[in-house]
Chain A
């Protein structure tokens, strides 16, 4: 190859590599030093959680056909997938339960966990089929009713969701039943009333810690939606003070802070949460607003992670990807189809918001219609959504 051709090729390669910096995995390398740390594990093996998991695994290994041991371990894994934000734990739960799923009539506890795992993969309809099967065998299974109600809420089938809450009145504690209904009421035009109920429930001593966290997060989110910033901030801070780690809460609080323009607080909150895509996304949005240098790296990392997720043929992070594309890449033309695809699967206020924002930015007001219809039919109380809806209507006039 002659020199000038070589220069052309090298220039092209250089450009290509620069454009891929931090995105593609690099060349395999031979670490120079034995001490070089390549990976940090979620848990130190001496951590109590790791010990507990090891004990449960040993227990199951001794008796691999013992359903209760399997369900216990799988449940722990599902909880870990949530607290750590790591979907690998879901795959582990699934592997443990596979033998029971292959039976012609899987036992209800195994079906219930399958529904939960499917729900995490956004296979909502298939999860509902499993739940209905559990309920046909055990009509008093409160957990199945509650999970069903939550999936139906995400799908914006509010009447069905309310019907799924009803049996809880008979099969479980009163506060769980009321919280189930309040969650739906908080979106569908009865925010004030559901806020009142939730606060009453929180004053009740029988409410356990995880339940308290669930109810206060719900209450904080309703306050944020109805524009009661002070109450929202107070609720979020109180839950965080309990030290409970969970990705959903951090994400919801970060969104609230972003909306209030409190970018520095978002950075303080999420500085160390770069492993979870949803949290890294919010961190990068704050960095973008503050023009911090770490912004570029984080955008490149997110782009690579979304690409890696597409490579494996899954897309459970479409809502996040739409937001990433709209807010960080500032590409409404590509964000809109993602937001529309996401709206077909889930219909929560956050999903309506990304759809409206993308449609507005892309200048495609017809695309906003499904979200506008949803807002109107269900009398959704959310000041952001109302503001966006007004903008769409003004602009399309």
Chain B
């Protein structure tokens, strides 16, 4: 069970859930009215969160591959490449 994948819900909750509160012009941040800044911030955070999930998924894929290969003595030759390998 890859429970960290629920992190992917955070962008939707943060971006949209925050809109009623963030729906204002002041304060300006980076020259942007607050609502525009808020949404921009969450677009960037979405990318960051998805990156985190990608990293965790890759680590988990590797771990599962190792487990599937047993102690790994002759696994390197026989094991299939990970599905998410570059």
The yes or no verdict on A and B being binding partners is no
Hey, which bits of chain B sit against chain A, CB under 8 A?
Answer: none
Q: Which residues of A contact B (CB under 8 A)?
A: none
